[in-house]
Amino acid sequence: MSVNKEVKRITTHILQEMKNRGEKIAMLTAYDYSMAAIVDNAGMDIILVGDSASNVMAGHETTLPITLDQMIYHASSVVRAAKRALVIVDLPFGSYQGNSKEALSSAIRIMKESGAHGVKMEGGVEIAESISRILTAGIPVMGHLGLTPQSIYKFGTYTVRAKEEAEAVKLKEDSLKLQELGCFGVVLEKIPAKLAKEVSESLSIPTIGIGAGQHCDGQVLVIHDMLGINKGFKPRFLRQYSNLYDIMNDAIVNYVDDVKAKSFPNDKEGY
Ligand code: KIV
């Protein structure tokens, strides 16, 4: 399907219209200027500056260590590249869980210092006050339910969430709460497809799935995963669209060989 590149800037209102008319929403992460320029030019609706930067950019095991300053650095690079996509930034672990005043000041810093268009926060009813305060300041908020990686030490594993009835019921209540508060959308990560379908149908705001089946209103992936840069990371939900690890590795090995063999640079590749 062709993408309408005539649209000046995707807004939360356009995303809502997309859900209303059944048009799927495409979302992908990016963390730097060059990648974000490619992603934006490809017709992405939402670029997520995810705290997965902690894993794929900084090499941490979890998303917990990344700081607000580091998120702002990544986000401002992405914002400079994004001409069409809506840019949403994760509030990192520790920047909003303390109290709603701190949450608001973190969100304001992201908006002011990076120029992004909204924030994403993990959690449901327990962070309602913070979400509400941020929304009152006019900052669009996207929720994130299901597998919420900032709580990995509570879960103990990255396995599918909400398979049990009690957790599924809480997730449904949380999703309704996020909508009632005024969130413009909700990411549903690694939950059963049947539950994601039920939530997507019960909400009027868009749901964006990752490992949540085909019935969400949109999909999101981590760019390093779908481009095959993370060799060996192949969860069932991931569709790998390229094999950049091998492509880049071949190019770099060729470069090393050429330098060692004194064939680069040749007499035309200089001044
Ligand atoms: O940080 C991230 O990349 C995310 C997506 C996996 C949804 O939150």
Residue among 187, 226, 230, 233 to mutate when testing ligand 1 (max atoms within 8 A of CB): 187
Of 6, 189, 198, 201, the catalytic one is 189
The dihedrals phi and psi of 146, each to the nearest 5 degrees, come to 95, -125
What is the sign, positive or negative, of the torsion defined by CA atoms of 157, 159, 164, 166? positive
* Alpha-carbon span 16 to 210, nearest angstrom: 19
Q: How far is the CA of 49 from the centre of ligand 1 (A)?
A: 8
The protein residue whose alpha carbon is closest to atom 5 in ligand 1 is 50
pLDDT in tens, the chain (271 residues): 556 556 689 999 999 999 999 999 999 999 999 999 999 999 999 999 999 999 999 999 999 999 999 999 999 999 999 999 999 999 999 999 999 999 999 999 999 999 999 999 999 999 999 999 999 999 999 999 999 999 999 999 999 999 999 999 999 999 999 999 999 999 999 999 999 999 999 999 999 999 999 999 999 999 999 999 998 899 999 999 999 999 999 999 999 999 999 999 999 999 9
Which residue ranges have their beta carbon within 6 Å of ligand 1? 29, 48, 50-52, 90, 187, 189, 210, 220, 222
Q: Which one-letter amino acid corresponds to residue 217?
A: D
- Comparing C-alpha atoms, which of 23, 69, 76 is closest to residue 49? 76
Question: For the CA atoms of 148, 100, 131, 116, what is the dihedral angle to 10 degrees?
Answer: -90
| Nearest atom within ligand 1 for CA of residue 27 | 7
Exposed, middle or buried by CB within 10 Å (0-12, 13-18, 19+), for 214? exposed
| Nearest atom within ligand 1 for CA of residue 189 | 7
| Nearest atom within ligand 1 for CA of residue 120 | 8
> Count of residues for the chain?
271
Are the C-beta atoms of 204 and 183 separated by less than 8 Å? no
Q: Specify the pLDDT at position 25.
A: 98
* Region class of 218: left (phi > 0), else alpha (psi between -120 and 50), else beta: beta
* Alpha-carbon span 99 to 179, nearest angstrom: 21
* Alpha-carbon span 36 to 80, nearest angstrom: 9
Place of tokens 């709460």: 177
> Strands, DSSP E only, in 73-128?
86-90, 118-122
Place of tokens 């398979």: 163
3-state secondary structure of 76: helix
- Comparing C-alpha atoms, which of 32, 34, 80, 38 is closest to residue 53? 32
Annotation says 269 is catalytic: no
Instruction: Annotate 187-224 with DSSP letters as a single string.
Output: EEES--HHHHHHHHHH-SS-EEEESS-S-SSEEEE-HH
Q: How far is the CA of 95 from the centre of ligand 1 (A)?
A: 16
Q: How far is the CA of 144 from the centre of ligand 1 (A)?
A: 9
Q: How far is the CA of 50 from the centre of ligand 1 (A)?
A: 5
